[in-house]
């Protein structure tokens, strides 16, 4: 499956924060359920705790996805581990915890071909998160399977220049610290992703003209999947991967 990153014609389905549509996002359960569906890639978000542990959570605060309140960076890892990261979505998910990056890497040991889209969330700790994430992923032998994402163009440039890793960015208007010009932010990208409400075939072609892979997020219905494929994208990051997987299977595409 690693070859999918090298083959620009490969079609890839990614689980957005795991199987976000049905299970508590960015939990090991959500990742497991996405893998059960047969996704090629997992997308997840990284932030830093008060005691410098890298944890998998999207928001700047724990308010939305746990029973706690306050910024992620205001908690030690031990304190974060006391929070319930599942019951906000349903009582049946009570007791789920925020995973660390190391715990996620250990869990993924049973999936040697899986691709990873690692999003570094914009923050004053973003470079530190990037450094620690690279170290952990390299130690685990996962680095070659990773694409690194950020809405902060300066972090994307840092990852590209410091580590020569694959990076995925967004349109200029969606990013902070965007640098125009031939040596600017677009030159630091390997792929670019468009939200469904901004996706067009013309934008996909323009990305290709820049030498970039064109991806999209989040096509969660059959109609959206069909439109995305008509536009020419090669990777679909989905809250609900089922319509994309069903469309690929119906078309005879091999997701493995």
Catalytic residues: 16, 58
Q: How many residues belong to the chain?
A: 256
> Residue 48 corresponds to which tokens in the numbers above?
């830093």
What torsion do the CA atoms of 13, 18, 24, 26 make, to the nearest 10 degrees?
A: -140
The DSSP letter of residue 33 is: H
- Asked if omega into 218 is within 30° of 0 (cis), the reply is yes
CA-based nearest residue to 66, from 26, 30, 36: 26
Cα 193 vs. chain centroid, distance in angstroms?
Answer: 11
Report how far residue 249's alpha carbon sits from residue 143's, in angstroms, rounded to the nearest whole number.
Answer: 29
DSSP states of 194-208:
EEGGG--HHHHHHHH
Answer for the pair 229, 10: CB distance below 8 angstroms, yes or no. no
Burial class (CB in 10 A: 0-12, 13-18, 19+), 110: exposed
């Amino acid at each position: 499956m690693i070859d999918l990153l090298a083959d620009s014609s490969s079609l890839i389905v990614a689980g957005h924060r795991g199987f976000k549509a049905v299970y508590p996002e960015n939990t090991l359960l959500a990742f497991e359920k996405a893998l059960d569906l047969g996704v090629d890639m997992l997308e997840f978000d990284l932030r830093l705790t008060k005691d410098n542990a890298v944890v998998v959570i999207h928001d700047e605060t724990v308010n939305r996805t746990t029973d706690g309140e306050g910024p992620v960076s205001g908690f030690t890892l031990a304190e974060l581990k006391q929070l319930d990261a599942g019951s906000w979505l349903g009582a049946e998910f009570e007791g789920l915890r925020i995973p660390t990056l190391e715990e996620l890497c250990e869990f993924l040991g049973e999936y040697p071909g899986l691709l990873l889209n690692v999003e570094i969330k914009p923050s004053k700790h973003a470079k530190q998160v990037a450094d620690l994430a690279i170290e952990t992923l390299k130690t685990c032998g996962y680095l070659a399977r990773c694409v690194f994402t950020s809405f902060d163009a300066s972090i994307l440039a840092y990852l590209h220049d410091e580590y020569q890793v694959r990076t995925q960015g967004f349109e200029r208007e969606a990013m902070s610290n965007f640098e125009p010009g031939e040596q600017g932010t677009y030159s630091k990208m390997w792929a670019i992703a468009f939200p469904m409400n901004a996706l067009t075939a013309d934008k996909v072609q323009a990305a290709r003209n820049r030498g970039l892979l064109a991806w999209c997020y989040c096509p969660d219905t059959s109609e959206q999947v069909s439109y995305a494929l008509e536009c020419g994208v090669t990777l679909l990051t989905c809250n609900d991967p089922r319509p994309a997987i069903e469309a690929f299977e119906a078309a005879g595409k091999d997701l493995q």
